[in-house]
Amino acid sequence: MGRAEAEVEEVLKNGITKVLTLPRLWGKKNETFLKRNNMKLKIIFYLLVFQLVQNHLPGQSLQELQALALEYNFGIKSLKQEYASSLERIGQVSDLPDPEVNAGFFVLPPETRLGPQRVVLGASQMLPWKGTIPAREALVSSKASENLHRIDKEQLKVLYNVKVAYLKLYELIKTKEIIKEKIPLYKTLESLTLVKTESGKAVLSDVLLVQLKIRELEQQLKIIDNQKAKSMAAINSTIGRPVNTEIRIDSSFLKAEPFASKSAITNSVSENHPSIKLLQSQQETAQRSIDLNVLNGKPSIGVGLDYILVGKRDDLFPENNGRDILIPKVKMKIPLYRKKYTAKTQEEQLKIAALEHKTADVQLEFSALIEQAFTDFEDAELKIELYEEQKKLLESIIEIQTEKYSQSGNNFEELLRLENDLLAYDLKLLKAIVQSHLAQARIESLML
């Protein structure tokens, strides 16, 4: 293999990071080689372009992903279809009962003074009590409106799930950045211990300790890459797209903004949360069912008309010989057996009472969630303040301790412990910031 071939193979092995070495291959000497490896070179070029484009692609903000979730989430789509379906039921109850038509043929025609009766035809129409049809429409409409509140409830849930998964992904990415920034510091410390060991001012165990920490951090980076897939899968499944779709974070989260007053949030949630609205709508549906039940217990009236075909007499010729018969009819359906109507009313009244207790329970549950969110937010604020102060103090101590170690080579374990503590404070500060946003997300999940 010639020098040119070796350079291309090296590029192919190491990816596009060495692709800039390829221009050296151009020239008459390598013209044959380049023709033979034209496809490989094209692949390397496309890989380079792809990486450059990917590195400059803007990340997706939380708001963009939430907007996509509201548009493409399958759960929300399903509920919207259910709502559209429930509206179609209104047309199913707004019509009168189907008319009845009957026909009969006299096998043994009865003789009348004007002739024998041959055929009877009839039609009738039942008319429900006044207001029954509007009451049916109101009941179906009330049931349909329940689906609107279910849609709002699902939307809040989806927005919350996306934000939580996004925050977890953000925490993982920022954790990786913090660790990657710290590894060079530990490697510098490793070099320092090697120098001290060679000069006899330190022991080999110091080198091994810092190498152990570097190995731990490098392994942690791999674990983070594995965990990122879980958060991305959670977001993608909520958006309704393949779970392995890449998500790029384009946000830098500072501490979350404080909430409005606790009482204002509690009152707003108690009045406007979709779960509360749904329970109120279900109570309204139960009351409309009672109203319809009362109307169903009223009599219904039917009107109709019978037509009888009469044949002519051949033996006599009376006046109006063979005249047909018209019989207008009125009938009434009287609900004498009242037990089923009474039981239905009692059922719906008990349902209303149960829904009132359920509403009170949900309101208390929301109050507890709000209290917990405020507590978590306040804890996060205190932690952020503490960790920022501790970091500044610790950095000063590390600077002093590093200077001492550079001179004497003593107390390396203490210096390493301080570096580890500083890394721990960086990660704790990140967790506290994320905690403040998670607390905010819980409040947002309760408010439209």
CA separation, residue 442 to residues 49, 138, 159, 265 (Å):
42, 36, 10, 12
User: Using an 8 Å Cβ cutoff, are 330 and 302 in contact?
Assistant: yes
Residue among 397, 424, 423, 390 nearest 411 (CA): 397
Percent of the chain at pLDDT above 70?
A: 86
pLDDT tens for each residue of 382-407: 999 999 999 999 999 988 888 887 77
* Calpha distance 397→409 (Å, rounded): 16
**Has residue 76 got a pLDDT over 80?**
yes
Sequence length of the chain is 448
Nearby residues of 311 by Cβ (< 8 Å), 6 or more positions away? 109, 115, 116, 117, 118, 322
Coil vs helix vs strand at 20: helix
- For the stretch 24-58, pLDDT in tens is 444 444 555 445 555 555 555 544 544 444 444 44
* Among 7-16, 234-243, 272-281, the range of highest mean pLDDT: 272-281
> 10 Å Cβ neighbour count for 377?
23
Taking only the tens place, the pLDDT of each residue in 420-433 is: 999 999 999 999 99
Question: Coil, helix or strand for 127?
Answer: strand
pLDDT for 78 beyond 70: yes
pTM: 0.77
What is the DSSP code (8-state) at residue 216? H
- One-letter amino acid of 405: Y
Q: Give the whole-angstrom CA distance, residue 96 versus residue 412.
A: 92
Q: What is the pLDDT of residues 276-321, one digit of tens each?
A: 999 999 999 999 999 999 999 999 999 999 999 988 888 778 888 8
- What does the mean pLDDT of the chain come to? 84
Residue 257 has pLDDT above 80, yes or no: yes
pLDDT tens track for 180-237: 999 998 888 888 888 777 777 667 887 888 889 999 999 999 999 999 988 899 999 9
User: In this predicted structure, what is the pLDDT of residue 202?
Assistant: 65
Task: Give me 406's structure tokens.
Answer: 């550079």
Predicted pLDDT at 448:
73
Give CATH 1.20.1600.10 domain extents, the chain: 62-94+143-296+352-444
CATH number of 62-94+143-296+352-444: 1.20.1600.10
Selection from 330, 272, 323 nearest residue 304 by Cα: 330
Place of tokens 């439209």: 448
Structure tokens at 323: 């005249």
Cα separation, 246 vs 236, whole angstroms: 9
pLDDT in tens, 142-170: 999 999 999 999 999 999 999 999 999 99
